[in-house]
Amino acid sequence: MKNQNMTYILIGIILIIRVFFYLKNSNNEKSKTPHKTEKTEQEKKEFYENMRNMALTVTAEQLGINEIENDKVYGLVTEMGMDIGTATVAAFLTGDASIYLSSGGGFIGGGSHQDVNEKIKVIVEKIQKFKQDAVKIKNAELPKSDEIRFNFLTKNGLYQINAKNDEIMSEKSKFTELYK
């Protein structure tokens, strides 16, 4: 069962990356023929920055989980740096989940699907054990193209673990479980 859930999560992440590449290629083709309804690069950048900032700063109270302990992780914001940009996956103890792409795209409200919502709750609950390896930070900087950053949201503040993409993908890192 655990391997099956991890497989679904891995497939989801692979799909996210493929969508990211598709959006990048689609944007390159669209730039050849301008269209008045297209968002400018600045608008895409602002959309991504706003959504990312909301994910990283949402409080437990805003999520409706007031009775949570101060050091309990109530959200995981995973950021994957790639040569073409960044993908941000936000998951919360409430089961809410969204994906934001620095290309300006994304998927909001994944947790509104019951099966996704239930799996997200389990994942966020399980990642609590990794908080002890995280470092408290004030600001979450974007990852470099070869990095994955795991940002843990707690009432006590924001904590982060940095990992190398290749170590996570080859399962050589003790933090691979955070990615699956």
Alpha-carbon distance 136 to 63, whole Å? 21
Alpha-helical segments (H) within 58-96:
60-63
Q: What is the pLDDT at residue 51?
A: 94
CB 152 within 8 A of CB 134: yes
Mean pLDDT of the chain: 82
Higher-scoring residue by pLDDT: 107, 145:
145
| Amino acid identity at 99 | I
Residue of higher predicted confidence among 171 and 25: 171
**What is the rounded distance in angstroms from the CA atom of residue 103 to the CA atom of residue 79?**
14
With 50 as the cut, is the pLDDT of residue 10 above it? Answer: no
Identify the DSSP state of 12. H
* pLDDT given at position 62: 96
Which pLDDT score is estimated for 108?
81
Residue 97, beta-bridge partner list: 91
**Which DSSP category does 113 fall into?**
S
3-state class (DSSP) for residue 89: strand
Does 84 have pLDDT greater than 70? yes
Helix boundaries (H) for 31-164: 41-57, 60-63, 114-126
Which contiguous run of DSSP H or E holds residue 81?
strand 75-82
Rounded Cα distance, 100 and 16, in Å: 9
pTM summary value: 0.76
Identity of the amino acid at 43:
E
Confidence tier at 107 by pLDDT (50, 70, 90): confident
